[in-house]
Amino acid sequence: MNRNFIDELEERILLADGAMGTMLYAKGVYINTCFDELNLSRPSLVSDIHKEYLQAGAEILETNTFGANRFKLATFGIEDRVKQINEAGADLARSSANKAAFIAGSIGPLGKPLRPLGKISKEDAFAAFKEQAEALAPNVDLFIVETIHSLEEMRIAIEAIKSISSLPIVAQMTFTDEEQTLAGESPEQVARGLESYDVACIGINCSIGPQPMLEIIEKMGAVTDKILSAQPNAGSPRLVENRFIYLTSPEYMAEYAKRFIQTGVSIVGGCCGTTPEHIKAMASAIRALRPVHVHTHKSLEVVAEREVLPETPFEQRSRLAASLGKKFVISVEIDPPRGLDPSRPLEAARLMKKSGVDAINIADGPRASARMSPMALATLMEKEAGIETLLHYCCRDRNLLGMQADLIGAHALGLRNVLIITGDPPKLGDYPSATAVFDVDSIGLVQIVRNLNRGLDLAGNPLGAATSFAIGVGANPGAMDLETEIKRFYEKVESGAEFVLTQPVYEASLLENFINKTRNVEIPILVGILPLSSYKNAEFLHNEVPGMQIPKKIRSRMKRTPSGDAARRLGIKIAQEALQDCMTLQAVKGAYIMPPFGRYESVLRIIEVL
């Protein structure tokens, strides 16, 4: 369009288009396809959808680039094609519009949380948004940054765009049914935050339908004089004959388009589920309407502060926490059973308690194999064996909401000690075709648990009460890339880690070196002790198990007695020597013993040296 977007926006209502992904899905494109890549492989399909929206009355066409950032494209192995895909998306929208509509460069979220909850640094996020914006900028009239879940990610996206372009920006956040972003921000907080970012228009899109969106936009409009936008979903999807269908009618969307405008919205359109039929109905309904300037009442705004509850003192959270630093504690790993019968691990737990062991470690899907729920086994052990447990909890199998639900449930069941780990990839285990989630890594999950200990959920919303978990993490003193391992260790401690369990240690000098390099961090260390059962076992652990290194001289000792009872006795002797040497290190406050192949009697032999 030759007209100036800002001038048009201030003078009249602008109608945006509807969903691109829904339309592609309706035309037979599989939902697990990279929709953005279709700009290259099926450009006519994308162009046809743009033209359908144009014919329906849309005055803003969004490029088919919502997920065309390097992080999302990486899931399809095409992160090196960011520039091509975005340039093609802008070209397709521009040629389809034929100068009859504004072209908006669509930029969506990165798809994974930012640090500290996720792995993406703010610097990497900025670079990814900038890379996408640079490819779009030459052939668009404005940018729409949409479906963003937190003000922080929105801020980074806007700063990245502004670093390379002066084009107008429409900033649209997305909300849940609870009228909050996933980061826990209210409509009023979002309005104030977006207003401070100096953009052309602020608003909402996606996640919810017209009615709840209207209620949220009214709250935003009450605290800001910025021009508003609203692009709701066509209600919630329903599974009909194995396809997701949105059932909100064009007439209903058209009615709410008028209501949006009456509350001060100047850009209306649609998101998931909306089609050219919806946009056509909206165009007819709003044709004669003019922008409505709603007076704000900023002086009446009251935003409740988030209540951060005091954390329970560490030593009061569990018997294990109370013992750390006051005695040399012993924790023994017992794996969940592969079947339904927990009797053997329960019997082992009773033996360990009788032998003076302080806690049982219960691994979470060790080696990515299918076993009984560690939470269920931990509950049984504490109730039936009377011994405290240390529940391993990994990030592999659950999304953020599932993790939070599990942890709240674990606390309700009386479990108080957690060891936060990232987890082995599924391809290492029994089910290589299983998919991993990894919404966050161990650093992010530690931060989530610490928030729970402060009475806040993962979005920072008050829970009304606080958990009291003792938070443990893992560390590998013998890591090949020790610099990265130490960096991650510091990040874990900064996020809230309170004690650490190491990978198996066979030479105290490795652990001493790790302690010396992290001497400014004073949290209790439980040294990992894993007795070798044979030379074959040592070779397997060293060469095939992630994170394990068996020193050459230890493997050489095992090689001289390769198998049988003599090899197992030698393995126990080596474990005893390592434990005795490590006990001389001041930071070591306990041992984490991993009996091989369920030979729990080996634990009794090892702790004879205490």
Least confident of 84-88, 213-217, 319-323, 336-340: 336-340
In this structure, which amino acid lies at residue 361? N
Q: Looking at residue 294, what is its pLDDT?
A: 59
pLDDT for 432 equals 38
In which element (H, E) is residue 221 found?
helix 210-221
Type of residue numbered 189: Q
Helix (H, G, I), strand (E, B) or coil at 229: strand
User: Residues 439-467: what's their mean pLDDT?
Assistant: 87
Give the count of beta carbons closer than 10 Å to the beta carbon of residue 587. 19
517 band by pLDDT with thresholds 50, 70 and 90: very high
Calculate mean pLDDT across residues 170-189. Answer: 90
pLDDT at 299: 40
- Lowest-pLDDT range of 46-60, 300-314, 467-481, 569-583: 300-314
User: Nearest-CA neighbor of 20 among 45, 56, 1?
Assistant: 45
Phi, psi of 419 (to 5 degrees): -110, 110
pLDDT in tens, 8-60: 998 899 999 999 988 998 888 887 899 999 999 999 999 999 999 999 999 99
Checking if the pLDDT of 460 tops 80, the result is: no
Residue 241 in this model has a pLDDT that exceeds 60: no
pLDDT bracket for residue 441 (50, 70, 90): confident
- Alpha-carbon distance 103 to 154, whole Å? 20
Q: What is the pLDDT of residues 127-161, one digit of tens each?
A: 999 999 999 999 999 999 999 999 999 999 999 99
Cβ-Cβ contacts under 8 Å for 26 (sequence gap 6 or more): 275
Task: Give the residue range(s) of CATH 3.20.20.220 domains in the chain.
Answer: 327-532+571-609
Question: Does residue 422 or residue 110 have the better pLDDT?
Answer: 110
Is the pLDDT confidence value at 492 over 90? yes
Give the pLDDT score at 170. Answer: 98
Distance, CA of 582 to CA of 136 (rounded, Å): 58
Distances 430 to 159, 415, 423, 524, 570 between C-alpha atoms, Å: 45, 28, 14, 34, 31
| DSSP SS3 for 434 | coil
| Residue 368 pLDDT exceeds 60 | no
pLDDT at 341: 93
Which of 106-110, 386-390, 603-607 is least confident? 603-607
- The whole-number pLDDT of residue 366 equals 53
> What percent of the chain clears pLDDT 90, i.e. is strictly above it?
73
Segment 30-38 long-range contacts (CB within 8 Å, at least 24 positions apart): 31/244, 34/67, 34/73, 34/76, 34/78, 35/64, 35/66, 35/67, 36/64, 36/65, 36/66, 36/67, 36/68, 36/72, 36/73, 36/85, 36/89, 37/73, 37/76, 37/78, 37/81, 37/85, 38/64
Omega before residue 113 within 30° of 0, cis: no
Whether the predicted pLDDT of 305 surpasses 80: no
Measured distance CA(458)–CA(450) in Å, rounded: 10
**Proportion of the chain above pLDDT 70, given as a percent:** 92
Q: Is 3.30.565.10 the CATH classification of the domain at 327-532+571-609?
A: no
pLDDT score, position 365: 65
Q: What is the pLDDT of residue 244?
A: 64
Spatial separation of the C-alpha atoms in residues 232 and 239, rounded to whole Å: 19
Quick one: pLDDT at residue 144?
A: 98
Task: For residues 276-284, give the mean pLDDT.
Answer: 96
Domain 5-300 has CATH 3.80.10.10: no
Contact 415, 467 (CB under 8 A): no
Angstrom distance (rounded) from CA 197 to CA 369: 48
pLDDT confidence of 587, banded at 50, 70, 90?
A: very high
Cβ atoms 8, 26 nearer than 8 A? no
**Average pLDDT of the residues in 319-343:** 94
Q: How far is CA 602 from the centre of its chain?
A: 39
First to last CA, the chain: 81
Q: Which two tokens stand for residue 43?
A: 């450009």
Q: Which residues, including other chains, have CB under 8 Å from residue 251's CB and lie 6 or more apart?
A: 281
Average pLDDT over the chain, rounded to an integer: 90
| Alpha-carbon span 574 to 506, nearest angstrom | 7
- Residue 257 CB-half CA count within 13 A: 33
Instruction: State if pTM tops 0.75.
Output: no
Residue 306 pLDDT: 57
Are 173 and 181 a contacting pair, CB within 8 Å? yes
Q: Return the pLDDT at 507.
A: 92
Q: Which residues contact 271 (CB under 8 A, 6 or more apart)?
A: 18, 19, 146, 147, 205, 206, 231, 232, 233
Do 271 and 53 contact (CB within 8 A), yes or no? Answer: no
Overall average pLDDT of the 556-573 stretch: 93
> Distances in Å between the alpha carbon of 525 and those of 292, 316, 351, 440, 601?
63, 19, 24, 24, 24
At 597, is the pLDDT very low, low, confident or very high (cuts 50, 70, 90)?
confident
Run of H or E including 231: strand 228-231
pLDDT at 300: 40
- Pick 423 or 271 by higher pLDDT: 271
For the CA atoms of 269, 273, 279, 282, the dihedral, rounded to the nearest 10 degrees, stands at -70
Q: What is the pLDDT of residue 139?
A: 97
